Structure 1
Amino acid sequence: MGTARETLSIDGRQPISAELAAQVGELCDRVEDIAGRGPVVVHVSGTPAQGRNEGLTVATVSRWERALRRLERLPATIVGVADAEVGGPALDALLATDYRIATPSVRLTMPVDSGATWPGMALYRLAQQGSNTAAVRRALLFGHPIAAREALALQLVDEVTEDVAGALAAVAELTGVLSGRELAIRRQLMTDAATTSFEEALGVHLAACDRTLRLVATEAAS
């Protein structure tokens, strides 16, 4: 994927930590510095073992969740590449990406600890992004894995393939039309549409249209 300027790897076997949040923050810094030119690729794999939450604090979880929120608002296309078992911070990061590529071996897993699934924002994103199906309910309530083909059917991933390099090259073509700030605006409008009334959304959409018209006028005058 020659146009990609930045990559990040998240190992789901590792616990949530301030260091992990800092890695995401540093990626965001770099992408913002280059104004979102080119897609960003986030590789995710691994799921945590029992006891991963020992010593974890709410402050650290909050820092991690804020880093992910910043990631999913970047002015660049964020492409997730998932392989094998994907849970914990790996699943968190995958669900914050725009376009998701999975290998056939992928299983999306909500980790279970102390007899219950982890109630982090992956639970929120799965419930928001996946249809209200039995498979999603089983994952959220009982930690039942979602296999690759099932994730594709639920639209939690965009494609399942063994040819990751080829899929990345195709995504580069697909996402090359729009990038930077314009992409971030449209992503936010799309996200807000699920929870905002037409009347509330109209003003924001009109402002976005005005911005686009100004850009068109500027290009025409140059």
Structure 2
Amino acid sequence: MKRSTTTEQQPAAPTGGEALRLRIDGRRGLTAEAVAAVTAVCDSAEDGAGPGKVIVEVSGAPEASWSTDLTVALVSKWERAVRRLERLPATTIAVADGDCGGLALDAMLAADYRIATDTVRLVIPVGDGTAWPGMAIYRLAQHGAHTAAIRRAVLFGTPIAAADAVALHLVDELAADPAAALALAAERGGVVTGTELAIRRQLMVDAAATSFDEALGVHLAACDRTLRRAAVGASA
């Protein structure tokens, strides 16, 4: 049975298969409800049996006053929830449309595969005259701290247009038909699942800051698990 969670606490349309669905409206400010929505999806993905996928629909960017009533404690809870989403033992696929900032940008950047319409613009929200210094900056910088488009986005809040987002690998594909692109991405995303998906994701992340000799043991351990699992399957 398909399950869905949304920051607006309204049922989302079904996507088919076993996909969970999270809809995030970036126009809305950060609330405990938004944290709870992401947490609920993560709970379901981690508890589910068999292959799973999480579809994250994002759009909207906040107004200038969005951070007025925020507390660091709430921001910390949100960032931890997004980090949990980023590390799920399930394939996460984001579909972005129009301006995408604030909560929407955070969730999109945490996804494994990112689909966008050609109207998408990635926006670092600006409050009190400065760009918001949340972890979206960290994720953008990992893709290229010295690229002009990312530097302008982080320092001045200049939106990253669709073409630049693809060129910088912030978006995997622009789609005139997002539903068709989503169906294809979901089909491809079922090859590696569960804990092994999370492990491979972490191996890629660690590679940027780990020497070959340091990484070798972890990769060999992953290879050993794969071989053992294959041997068990062959003898069954």
TM-score tier by shorter-chain length is: over 0.9
Q: Give the one of 74, 89, 114 matched to 1:60.
A: 74
Within-5 A mapping of 1:6-17: 6-17=20-31
Runs of 5+ unmatched residues, structure 1:
none
Which residue matches 1:125? 139
% identical aligned pairs: 62
- In the alignment, structure 1 residue 116 sits paired with structure 2 residue 130: yes
Higher relative contact order (CA 8 A, sep 6+): 1
Q: Is the CA contact 2:93–2:186 (under 8 Å) kept in the aligned structure 1?
A: no
**TM-score w.r.t. length of structure 2:** 0.91
**Quick one: which amino acid aligns to residue 139 of structure 1?**
A
- 1:184 partnered with 2:166: no
- The alignment status of 1:204 with 2:221, answered yes or no, reads no
Confirm or deny: 8 A CA contact 1:130 1:155 kept in the other structure.
no
Structure 1: distance between partners of 2:127 and 2:18:
36
Point out where structure 2 has 5 or more consecutive residues left out of the alignment: 1-14
1:50 matched to which residue of 2?
64
Size of the aligned set, in residue pairs, is: 222
For residues 36-70 of structure 1, the C-alpha deviation after alignment (integer angstroms, 9 at most, x for no partner) is: 62321000001010111112111100000000010
In 2: Cα distance, 1:36 partner to 1:220 partner: 19
Determine if contact 1:36/1:74 at 8 Å carries over to the other structure: no
Q: Tell me the distance in 2 between the aligned counterparts of 1:35 and 1:106.
A: 34
Matched, 1:86 2:89: no
1:161 equivalent in alignment to 2:181: no
Measure the CA separation in 2 of the matches of 1:81 and 1:23. 17
- In structure 2, the CA distance between the partners of 1:190 and 1:9, relative to structure 1 (3 Å rule), is same
Q: What is the CA-CA distance between 1:131 and the residue it aligns to?
A: 6.0
1:180 CA drift (Å): 1.2
Distance 2:97 2:17 in 1: 22
Q: Deviation per CA, 1:104-136: give whole Å up to 9, x if none.
A: 110000011111100000000001024631111
Please list the CA deviations of residues 142-171 of structure 1 after superposition, one character each: whole Å capped at 9, or x if unmatched.
000011111011110000012011101111
Q: Could you tell me how far apart the structure 2 residues matched to 1:35 and 1:192 are?
A: 28
The one-letter code matched in structure 2 to 1:210 is D
Q: What's the offset of the Cα at 1:172?
A: 1.9
Aligned to 2:207: 193
Q: 1:100 maps to which residue?
A: 114
Q: How far apart are the structure 2 equivalents of 1:73 and 1:204? A: 17
Residues 77-116 of structure 1 show CA distances to partners (whole Å, capped at 9, x for unaligned) of 1000000010001000000000000001100000111111
Q: Secondary structure at the match of 2:205?
A: helix
Given residue 23 of structure 2, which amino acid in structure 1 is its aligned partner?
A: S
Q: What is the distance in 2 between the residues matched to 1:5 and 1:31?
A: 9
Give 1:2 shift. 2.6
- CA gap 1:35/1:71 in 2 versus in 1, 3 angstroms: farther
Query: For the Cα contact (< 8 Å) 1:81–1:101, is it kept in 2?
Result: yes
Aligned with 1:78: secondary structure? strand
- Tell me how large the CA RMSD over aligned residues is: 1.2
CA distance 1:160–1:36, change in 2 (3 Å):
farther
What is the Cα deviation at residue 4 of structure 1? 4.1
Structure 2: distance between partners of 1:55 and 1:81: 29
3-state DSSP of counterpart to 2:158: coil
> Once the 2 structures are TM-superposed, how far is the Cα of residue 198 of structure 1 from its aligned partner?
1.7
Match of 1:52, SS? coil
The answer to whether 1:173 aligns with 2:180 is no
